[in-house]
């Protein structure tokens, strides 16, 4: 849940999710729609689907127990090298290093070298304290998150400052105040780094149709590349509002990855979708945007 999501946004969802699915067996026995409904509002729903598939595989192939090595953990759905190393070292004390963005930054600054990804993992493994690998990995991540931060690193408070080749004096400060090492304009192999400032702007027109304690919702196709199977308000296919639709009740701003949406919501009748009782909405996996609109309208 914490991947690309703030702790404050996760805490309540985490508690509700564990109450609904208290163990691997309960999660594996649930339907995918029930899992998505519990996840609704967190976004990045592929995480929920992979977690669900992982639970099913653990029950079917591993007797409901997690493998205890990073190598074996990586065979499970949704678990990559970082997650596998974190689980193996913290839960099972396997001496395997963890590298996330914070650890990578610490190692780049500590060595003063523009490390490649394989080199970063190698350096992390070489530094690892094998007696308490879980504690060491968490300390490295915490060091990067609280002391060796991207902007204004707290070098005087750093417990490893005397071994740091770079330190504060060797950093370059950008116009936005970010303090970084010099990095190449492109990645190894000539692949240019993605420009995060390039954002796409789109407009959407949708209909909020209520009647007798129910609301019209449509389900996205199961094979949709974006949020498959999720439920949302019906959308108008026209690029501009048709004359028969009243002016927007409200316009919402919503962002998904690199796309910024202006969502114009109209209170109108539509034959699209299915009538869903408001009392049952919590059982449906609705999109984060839909949840935002329904809360603003006082529906939920």
Look up the CATH number of the domain holding residue 103.
1.10.1670.10
Assess whether pLDDT exceeds 60 at residue 250: yes
In a domain, 255, yes or no: yes
Q: If you average pLDDT over residues 117-134, what whole number do you get? A: 92
197-243 per-position pLDDT tens digit: 578 888 888 999 999 999 999 999 888 878 888 899 999 876 655 66
Please tell me whether residues 131 and 107 are part of one structural domain. yes
Mean pLDDT for all residues in the chain: 85
The domain boundary, picked from 40, 65, 90, lies at 65
In a domain, 61, yes or no: yes
CA distance 12 to 35: 15
In a domain, 183, yes or no: no
In a domain, 144, yes or no: yes
Please tell me whether residues 60 and 92 are part of one structural domain. no
In a domain, 195, yes or no: no
51-95 per-position pLDDT tens digit: 999 999 999 999 999 999 999 999 999 999 999 999 999 999 999
Please tell me whether residues 38 and 108 are part of one structural domain. no
In a domain, 186, yes or no: no
**Residue 211 belongs to domain with CATH number:** 3.90.79.10
Distance of alpha carbon 76 from its chain centroid, rounded? 18
Please tell me whether residues 217 and 280 are part of one structural domain. yes
CA distance 287 to 233: 9
Please tell me whether residues 117 and 61 are part of one structural domain. no
Please tell me whether residues 113 and 61 are part of one structural domain. no
* DSSP H/E element including 13: helix 7-20
The whole-number pLDDT of residue 238 equals 65
Q: If you average pLDDT over residues 107-114, what whole number do you get? A: 88
Please tell me whether residues 275 and 252 are part of one structural domain. yes
Please tell me whether residues 267 and 292 are part of one structural domain. yes
CA distance readout (Å), 214 to 3, 264, 278: 34, 21, 5
Please tell me whether residues 206 and 288 are part of one structural domain. yes
Please tell me whether residues 163 and 226 are part of one structural domain. no
CA distance 103 to 142: 9
In a domain, 187, yes or no: no
In a domain, 160, yes or no: yes
Total domain count for the chain? 3
**Residue 27 belongs to domain with CATH number:** 1.10.340.30
Domain that residue 219 falls in: 200-296
Distance of alpha carbon 232 from its chain centroid, rounded? 20
Please tell me whether residues 291 and 208 are part of one structural domain. yes
Please tell me whether residues 214 and 290 are part of one structural domain. yes
Centre a 10 Å sphere on the Cβ of residue 176 and count the other Cβ atoms it contains.
Answer: 6
Q: If you average pLDDT over residues 129-146, what whole number do you get? A: 94
12-52 per-position pLDDT tens digit: 999 999 999 999 999 999 999 999 999 988 888 899 999 99
DSSP codes of every residue in 143-161: HHHHTS-SSS--GGG-TTG
The whole-number pLDDT of residue 268 equals 86
């Amino acid at each position: 849940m914490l991947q690309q999501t703030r702790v404050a946004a996760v805490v309540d969802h985490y508690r509700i999710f564990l109450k609904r699915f208290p163990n691997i067996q309960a999660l594996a026995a649930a339907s995918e729609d029930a899992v998505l409904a519990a996840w609704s509002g967190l976004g990045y729903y592929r995480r929920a689907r992979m977690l669900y598939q992982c639970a099913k595989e653990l029950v079917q192939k591993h007797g409901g127990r997690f493998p205890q090595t990073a190598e074996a953990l990586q065979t499970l759905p949704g678990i990559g090298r970082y997650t596998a190393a974190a689980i193996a070292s913290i839960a099972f004390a396997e001496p395997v290093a963890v590298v996330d963005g914070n650890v990578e930054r610490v190692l780049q600054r500590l060595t003063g070298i523009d490390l490649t990804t394989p080199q970063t993992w190698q350096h992390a493994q070489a530094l690892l304290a094998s007696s308490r690998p879980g504690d060491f990995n968490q300390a490295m991540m915490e060091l990067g998150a609280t002391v060796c931060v991207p902007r204004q690193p707290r070098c005087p408070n750093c417990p490893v400052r005397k071994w740091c080749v770079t330190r504060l004096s060797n950093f370059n400060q950008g116009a936005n105040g970010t303090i970084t090492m010099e990095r190449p304009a492109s990645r190894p192999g000539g692949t240019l780094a993605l420009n995060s400032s390039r954002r796409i702007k789109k407009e959407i027109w949708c209909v909020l149709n209520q009647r007798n304690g129910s609301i019209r919702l449509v389900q996205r196709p199961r094979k949709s590349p974006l949020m498959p199977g999720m439920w949302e308000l019906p959308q108008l296919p026209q690029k501009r509002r048709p004359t028969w639709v009243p002016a927007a009740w409200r316009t919402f701003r919503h962002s998904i990855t690199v796309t910024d949406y202006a969502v114009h919501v109209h209170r109108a009748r539509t034959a699209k979708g299915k009538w869903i009782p408001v009392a049952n909405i919590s059982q449906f996996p609705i999109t984060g945007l839909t949840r935002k609109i329904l809360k603003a309208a006082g529906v939920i």
